[in-house]
Structure 1
Amino acid sequence: MPAALIEVRRDYSAEEAQALIDALHAAMVSALEIPADDRIVRLVTHSPACFACPPGKAHPARFTLIGIDLFAGRSVAAKRRLYAAIVEHLAPLGIPADHILVRLNEIPRENWGVRGLPASEVDLGFKVEV
């Protein structure tokens, strides 16, 4: 049940935006083994003047910051798979690997509410410890 936020420095067409959202979601499904219908992905576009990026980027308009809130418990191997899958899925969209920054915010299940209960007390329907 990750909740992802993609932040970019350029406008995307509706089709490109959907492709970006789909690519990140596919990476999370494959690497984190979440159900395919578990989909919370947002895309926010900032003007370049309001979103500084690291210097030296060949295509600063393509700089992409991805934040993912997720339940604590994924292995380092699963996180490695996630980082690699994100780069792999975003490459066809013209986003270079060195223009992607991913940060994970791991949240204990008792700090995430689902259906009015702590997620630690709910059958999530998938395994978190992958």
Structure 2
Amino acid sequence: MPIVEVKMWSGRTEEQKEQIIQGITKVLEDVGVPAEKTTVIITDYPKSNWGTKGVQASKL
């Protein structure tokens, strides 16, 4: 049973999150994993809690 974790900045709508879940599930179905075996976990982070290239993402 694959578990796919998506960690991203906050701000996506519920509809966009649903599209992400459906898209990931479809990719796994395409390689033979039944949808009922796939779990997708989305975790949202505020940009102020994320750093990249030594800079707080909210300042990029």
Q: Does the alignment reach a TM-score above 0.5?
A: yes
| Equivalent residue runs for 1:1-130 within 5 Å | 63-122=1-60
What CA distance in whole angstroms lies between the structure 2 residues aligned with 1:82 and 1:111? 22
**Cα shift readout 1:7-57 (whole Å, capped 9, x = no counterpart):** xxxxxxxxxxxxxxxxxxxxxxxxxxxxxxxxxxxxxxxxxxxxxxxxxxx
* Cα distance in structure 2, aligned partners of 1:67 and 1:89: 14
In the superposition, the TM-score normalised over structure 2's length comes to 0.92
Cα RMSD between the aligned structures?
Answer: 0.8
**Runs of 5+ unmatched residues, structure 1:** 1-62, 123-130
**Higher strand residue share:** 2
What is the aligned residue count? 60
Distance 2:56 2:35 in 1: 36
Give the residue type in structure 2 aligned to 1:84.
Q
- Describe the SS at the equivalent of 2:23: helix
Q: Which runs of 4+ in 1 moved over 6 A?
A: none
> What's the % identity of the aligned pairs?
27
**Larger C-alpha radius of gyration, 1 or 2?**
1
TM-score (norm 1): 0.45
- What 5-or-longer segments of structure 2 have no aligned partner? none
